[in-house]
Structure 1
Amino acid sequence: MRFDVLTLFPEMFHGFLSHSIMGKAKEKGLIEANLINFRQFSDSKHNTVDDTPYGGGGGMVLRPQPIFDAVDHLLENVAEKPPIIMMTPQGEPFSQEKAEELSIYPHLVLLCGHYEGFDERIRQHLVTHEISMGDYVLTGGELPAMIIMDSVSRLLPDVLGNPMSHVDDSFSTGLLEYPHYTKPSEYRGLKVPDILLSGHHANIDKWRREQALLRTWERRPDLLKSSNLTEEDRKFLRLLEADQD
């Protein structure tokens, strides 16, 4: 996976790309991250990338020229145009499903904004996707870009030590993830559920599924509407609802 990140602050990514899973994936050559300061593509005398908005108003707007030229340079010898993703609070809410969709591409271009936002011509004629991290506004697109890089990278083959690690993650199955426990089996009088110590894998799988359903029902019942539920799942949920009544 190749990430091209257009940003005014490439130094923000150095620590992120040097440690933990991302650092190891980069060392192994599983991901490539190119940090491009699009200020260097500015055609103005003072390398400015923003200007006052037409029609008045507060803040400054990113000019189209540096960003269009930066993308043209990046894709000059690229046979197939990759997704060009704008970080914006006006975009599609990011989700695990979106991360899985993006993970099939070998190349992503991430566009990090600042100031009041982007000239609309960038949105209309350059980008292919607009992504939001939620209903709030950040000072720039760098943190959202890192989130996308992290969530997409961990889905790639060999990035995680255990290839099954992400299979049961929250949202991957449409449900929140079941609880996890590790050694010791008792700590400060708090015991691990007996079922997990039983060695009976079928019963453990059933318990984990029910716990995922329970946690989702308690915390994110909205997810149950779009989850792929079995008849056993629905029966368990009906019991939860009956107990509540």
Structure 2
Amino acid sequence: MALETTLLAVDDLKATYIHAITALDGVGFHLARGEILALLGANGAGKTTTLKALSNLLPAERGQVVSGSIRFDGLDVLRTSPAALVRAGLVQVLEGRHCFRSLTVEENLVSGGLGRSGTRAEIAEDIEKIYAHFPRLKEKRRALSGLTSGGEQQMTAIGRALMSRPRLLVLDEPSMGLAPLIVQDIFRKLRHLNREEGLSILVAEQNSAVALKYADRAIILENGATVLTGDAQDLRGRDDIKSFYLGQRAVAPSIPAVVG
């Protein structure tokens, strides 16, 4: 990949927890500007640890990168604070639909704008853009986030991240626990942001079907290491990928017990 097109470069990343438990052992990939890249793998493959390393959040969980490098638009991520990374444009939506549950939907969005020190006028303008992307949030603007549906909470979390005006949006399992129609709607919105506004997106998912449908390329992790990378549409049709790397093994038919 040409150097000038690379926005994020992860090279031979190795990480542990409490200096003893190996979590990553050779993760490497590049993400181009304006690309949607899916990070796939079964539960425990290392997806969440990789994303936390990208935002330099591992030290907060007794984790550490022991070797390798991460560069975001030339910035050394491992030497940059999480807050500075957000200001530089690397913004993450953590797993679990993190919202300020006691704040309204709109107050959650405002908090995203305050995080980048936006002016009152800029925040108001950006909120209207979020409502244009997610009309449901405008309907729920005065509702407490903790009382909204799972899909609305995920939209709020994504909207709050967009208020930071990211250049790279990183999402961890955005489909988790949501109905299929809601998942499709969220991914369509993400692709629209990518195609219309040039937003680069990295999404970690266990739901390989939806991720490969909307991504440009995909990286597959297994046991904390990169095992395969390729065009998303090519990988989408490969049964071996579903079977061996995404935890979707075929289940043999059960044999009824013989009673006698």
TM-score, normalized by length of structure 2?
A: 0.24
Q: Which has the larger radius of gyration?
A: 1
| Higher-RCO chain (CA-CA 8 Å, sequence separation at least 6) | 2
Higher strand share goes to which structure? 2
